[in-house]
């Protein structure tokens, strides 16, 4: 943490009346979003190490798996990642009676396949299995190579029915370029699918990522998208993982393995200790499928979809309360995009069907304040209504919240065109304030609402920059970004009457608060400020009339009223001090200060390395001496009252 020099600090006075409060801060302001995109789930949260383990791509002599971002540690796989070993004529794709998907892989005697670029740690155990059948008595050799050293196991297959054979390795050395090889040493065999994971995985999820996710402390998680959801069939993601079909990712690049589906997401929420929110498909999807998804999650085991859930080992309903009815359906990039006038009808059909399955659920409708599709939606252009206006006018009876999204960044996404620091930091709070004020004006003007306020769920918000160093959309964040996210949180506190949910988008790797390598995970600077406020800031915001620019200052009481918390973002290069003047209560005893700061706006954390930026705690803070904050810092103070 940068040392604060009191002599260099500049002093102002913060007047707070402990009885002058605003609407409570909804804990779901601290939400997170995960989508099947890039390395967010596969390569980030999910522990599977193998690409295309179900042979979506045809294995050929032309080994060229990577199609883009080839200069990063996480290139995009656009062809088979399996390289042929031995005679190529001995490798054949078998479509008849495929184990999963459209094809299985046949290996003739003496032929094999291998996959490179696996991350392993010396002395760590890795477990796997292979579904295989043999046309005769066959022997296969499975080996793991790293750092010029090999470990191998020999397995026998004597049945012409697919059987599951397990294996385990202890990595001989640490490497991000390890190789797994499967060789038919004797006889021919057919591989259905296979898997390799670190042995310390937690129900299929990476242990290191999970620990950071628990530290992050997100209160609610939105899944599975995002644009992904408009082409996603949730039926593909239930049942035996090895039998779930691989698909092309409908919105992004690469393969959707369908290893992480509904049950895995809800297990993830249980493990991390968070509330789930599921986004249904209103693009290529329909009302029946959406309602059936609700039934799968919340229906009793004597319902059709509820019985499927029970047969999959989860007899008790999940009781998922929060659901998004679609995602960004105002956008021409969205699968199944349609005009506003038509989508209003679809939203109501889908929402009504979902509520029939479970009337207790709460639905978030797709909104977009200010979006008018003049070219693709003539009726919307004629009416002059933005998307949110039309939805509020015609769908209010079928929504509990209305969604808004925004991203900001260093446009045109080039590092050299970076905004000045304070200009970059202020983007978050400006966007939030404009959205909240816009909805207040809009909703007050609509006669059909009759004074009802439909809260906002800002279910995607973040900075979005280039370059993508952690795979698709995997930009890194530095101290400047952390300060902007902190100011964004401050603005949510100020808009607590109308913004009830917010989901930092996304969570791991993809514009994420956590970044991973193949063998390590680390908290980003933005994740640190999210953790800081989630754990230490109060829930009853207090009104502050003064402007402390360029500082951003907020205050709140704890839920029981016994603690005063103050948040200060200092985006300048100078230490600052604010004198606290409290009315209606008295500070009793010393306080605590938690701060995220760095000597440079460009400081960032990287997986596998010690943190360059962290949360620093200082006890025995005397409020009477002023609230001292370091340069380039986000700070939370807590004082007993």
If one counts every other C-beta atom within 10 angstroms of the C-beta of residue 94, the result is 15
Long-range pairs for 548-551: beta carbons < 8 A, 24 or more residues apart: 548/12, 548/14, 548/578, 550/422, 551/12, 551/576, 551/578, 551/629
Q: Report the predicted TM-score, pTM, of the whole model to 2 decimal places.
A: 0.95
pLDDT value for 198: 98
Identify the CA nearest to 459 among candidates 623, 636, 297, 221: 221
CA dihedral 95, 96, 102, 103 (to 10 degrees): -50
Q: Which has more pLDDT, 486 or 5?
A: 486
Mean pLDDT of all residues in 210-221:
98
Burial of 160 (0-12, 13-18, 19+ CB in 10 A): exposed
In 82-208 the beta strands, taken as DSSP E runs, fall at: 83-85, 91-94, 104-107, 112-120, 125-134, 138-146, 149-157, 163-170, 175-186, 189-198
- Map residue 133 onto helix, strand or coil: strand
Per-residue pLDDT, averaged over 200-223, amounts to 98
Spatial separation of the C-alpha atoms in residues 74 and 76, rounded to whole Å: 7
Percent of the chain with pLDDT over 90: 89
Is residue 415 predicted with pLDDT exceeding 70? Answer: no
> What's the pLDDT at 9?
42
- CATH number of 6-22+542-640: 1.10.260.40, 3.40.50.300, 3.20.20.100, 2.60.40.1180? 2.60.40.1180
Q: How far is CA 521 from CA 37, 207, 209, 517, 605, in A?
A: 18, 10, 6, 6, 10
pLDDT of residue 411: 58
The confidence band for 385, taking pLDDT boundaries of 50, 70 and 90, is confident
Q: What confidence tens digit (pLDDT) does each residue in 622-634 have?
A: 999 999 999 999 9
189 close to 134: Cβ distance less than 8 angstroms: yes
Q: What is the mean pLDDT of residues 33-56?
A: 97
Distances (CA, A) of 211 to 9, 273, 338: 37, 11, 41
Confidence class of residue 10 from pLDDT cuts 50, 70 and 90?
A: low
Indicate the pLDDT class of residue 419, thresholds 50, 70 and 90.
confident
pLDDT for 418 equals 64
pLDDT tens digits, one per residue of 586-598: 999 999 999 999 9
Tokens of 396: 């209010």
Domain assignments of the chain as residue spans, ordered by start: 6-22+542-640, 27-45+202-537, 66-198
pLDDT-derived band at 417 (thresholds 50, 70, 90) equals low
Give the tens place of pLDDT for each residue, 526-562.
Answer: 999 999 999 999 999 999 988 998 999 999 999 999 9
Whole-angstrom distance, CA of residue 289 vs CA of residue 298:
14
- Degrees, nearest 5: CA angle 267-273-277: 65
Residues 6 or more apart from 471 whose CB is under 8 A from it? Answer: 38, 39, 43, 69, 72, 73, 74, 75, 76, 509, 510
CB 41 within 8 A of CB 260: yes
Query: What distance in Å separates the CA atoms of residue 637 and residue 631, rounded to the nearest whole number?
Result: 16
DSSP state of 209: H
Pick the CATH number of 66-198 from 2.60.120.10, 3.90.1150.10, 2.60.120.260, 3.40.630.40: 2.60.120.260
CA distances (Å), origin 421, targets 168, 484, 489, 512, 602: 50, 10, 18, 21, 10
Alpha-carbon span 207 to 489, nearest angstrom: 28
CATH number among 3.20.20.80, 3.80.30.10, 3.30.450.40, 3.40.50.2300, domain 27-45+202-537 = 3.20.20.80
Q: How far apart are CA 218 and CA 29, in angstroms?
A: 9
Token pair of 236 as six digits: 């593909």
Say what the pLDDT of residue 383 is: 78
Q: What is the dihedral of CA 287, 291, 293, 298, to 10 degrees?
A: 170
Average pLDDT over the chain, rounded to an integer:
94
Q: Are strands 275-280 and 322-325 parallel, antiparallel or unpaired?
A: parallel
Residue-wise pLDDT for 324-372, tens only, equals 999 999 999 999 999 999 999 999 999 999 999 999 999 999 999 988 7
Name the residue among 448, 514, 528 with its Cα closest to residue 1.
528
Considering just the CA atoms, what is the radius of gyration of the chain in Å? 27
Rounded to the nearest angstrom, the gap between the alpha carbon of residue 623 and the centroid of all alpha carbons in its chain is 38
- What is the rounded CA–CA span in Å between residue 195 and residue 244? 14
Per the DSSP assignment, residues forming a β-bridge with 407 are: 462
Strand, coil or helix: 326: coil
Determine the Cα angle at 399 with ends 398 and 402, to 5°: 145
For residue range 265-314, list pLDDT tens digits in order.
Answer: 999 999 999 999 999 999 999 999 999 999 999 999 999 999 999 999 99
- How many Å apart are CA 520 and CA 578, to the nearest integer? 40
Query: How many other CB atoms sit within 10 Å of the CB of residue 62?
Result: 10
The per-residue pLDDT for 286 is 97
CA separation for the pair 427, 407 (Å, rounded): 9
Mean pLDDT of the region 9-36: 92
Q: Where are the alpha helices (DSSP H) in 374-426?
A: 378-383, 387-395, 421-425
Comparing CA positions, the residue from 528, 405, 534 lying closest to residue 464 is 405
Q: Is residue 6 pLDDT above 90, yes or no? A: no
pLDDT at 413: 52
- C-alpha–C-alpha distance, residues 516 and 527, integer Å: 13
pLDDT for 7 equals: 33
Output the pLDDT for position 72.
82
């Amino acid at each position: 943490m940068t040392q604060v020099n009191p002599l260099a600090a500049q002093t102002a006075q913060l007047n707070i009346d402990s009885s002058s409060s605003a609407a409570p801060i909804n804990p779901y302001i601290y939400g997170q979003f995960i989508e099947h995109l890039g390395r967010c789930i596969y390569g980030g949260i999910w522990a599977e190490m193998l690409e295309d383990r179900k042979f979506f791509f045809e294995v050929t002599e032309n080994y060229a798996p990577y199609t883009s971002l080839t200069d990063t540690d996480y290139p995009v796989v656009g062809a088979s990642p399996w390289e042929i070993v031995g005679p190529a004529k001995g490798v054949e794709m078998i479509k008849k009676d495929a184990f999963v998907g459209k094809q299985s892989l046949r290996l003739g005697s003496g032929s094999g396949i291998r996959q490179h670029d696996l991350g392993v740690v010396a002395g760590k155990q890795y477990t796997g299995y292979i579904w295989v059948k043999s046309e005769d008595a066959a022997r296969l050799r499975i080996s793991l190579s790293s750092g010029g050293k090999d470990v191998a196991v020999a397995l026998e297959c004597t049945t012409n029915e697919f059987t599951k054979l397990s294996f385990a390795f202890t990595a001989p050395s640490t490497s991000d370029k390890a190789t797994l090889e499967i060789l038919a040493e004797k006889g021919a065999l057919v591989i259905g699918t296979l898997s390799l994971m670190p042995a310390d995985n937690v129900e299929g999820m990476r242990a290191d990522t999970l620990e950071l996710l628990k530290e992050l402390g997100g209160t609610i998680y939105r899944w599975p998208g995002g644009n992904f959801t408009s082409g996603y069939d949730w039926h593909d993601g239930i049942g035996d993982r090895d039998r779930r079909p691989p698909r092309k990712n409908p919105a992004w690049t690469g393969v959707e393995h369908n290893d992480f589906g509904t049950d895995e997401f809800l297990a993830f929420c249980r493990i991390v200790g968070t509330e789930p929110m599921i986004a249904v498909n209103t693009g290529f999807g329909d009302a029946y499928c959406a309602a059936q998804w609700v039934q799968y999650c919340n229906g009793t085991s004597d319902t059709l979809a509820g019985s499927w859930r029970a047969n999959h080992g989860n007899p008790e309903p999940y009781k998922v309360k929060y659901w998004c009815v679609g995602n960004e359906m105002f956008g021409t990039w969205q699968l199944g995009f349609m005009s506003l006038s038509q989508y209003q009808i679809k939203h109501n059909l889908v929402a009504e069907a979902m509520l029939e399955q479970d009337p207790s659920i709460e639905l978030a409708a797709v909104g977009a304040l200010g979006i008018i599709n003049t070219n693709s939606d003539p009726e919307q252009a004629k009416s002059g209504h933005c998307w949110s206006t039309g939805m509020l006018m015609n769908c209010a009876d079928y929504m509990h919240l209305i969604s808004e999204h925004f991203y900001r960044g260093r446009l045109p996404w080039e590092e050299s065109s970076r905004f000045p620091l304070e200009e970059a930091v202020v983007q978050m709070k400006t966007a939030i304030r404009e959205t909240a004020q816009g909805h207040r004006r809009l909703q007050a003007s609509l006669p059909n609402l009759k004074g009802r306020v439909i809260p906002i769920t800002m279910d995607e918000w973040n900075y979005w920059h280039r370059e993508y160093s952690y795979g698709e959309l995997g930009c890194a964040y530095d101290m400047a970004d952390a300060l902007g996210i902190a100011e964004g949180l401050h603005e949510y506190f100020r808009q607590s009457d109308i913004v009830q949910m917010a989901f930092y988008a996304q969570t791991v790797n993809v514009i994420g608060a956590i970044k991973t390598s193949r063998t390590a995970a680390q908290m980003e600077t933005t994740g640190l400020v999210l953790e800081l406020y989630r754990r230490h800031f109060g829930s009853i915001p207090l009104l502050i009339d003064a402007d402390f620019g360029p500082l951003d200052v907020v205050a709140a009481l704890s839920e029981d009223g016994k603690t005063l918390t103050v948040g200060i973002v200092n985006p300048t290069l100078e230490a600052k001090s604010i004198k606290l003047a409290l009315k209606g209560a008295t500070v009793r005893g010393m306080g605590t200060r938690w701060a995220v700061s760095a000597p440079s706006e460009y400081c960032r954390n990287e997986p596998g390395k010690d943190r360059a930026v962290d949360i620093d705690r200082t006890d025995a803070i005397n409020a009477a001496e002023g609230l001292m904050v370091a340069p380039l810092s986000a700070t939370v103070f807590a004082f007993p009252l």
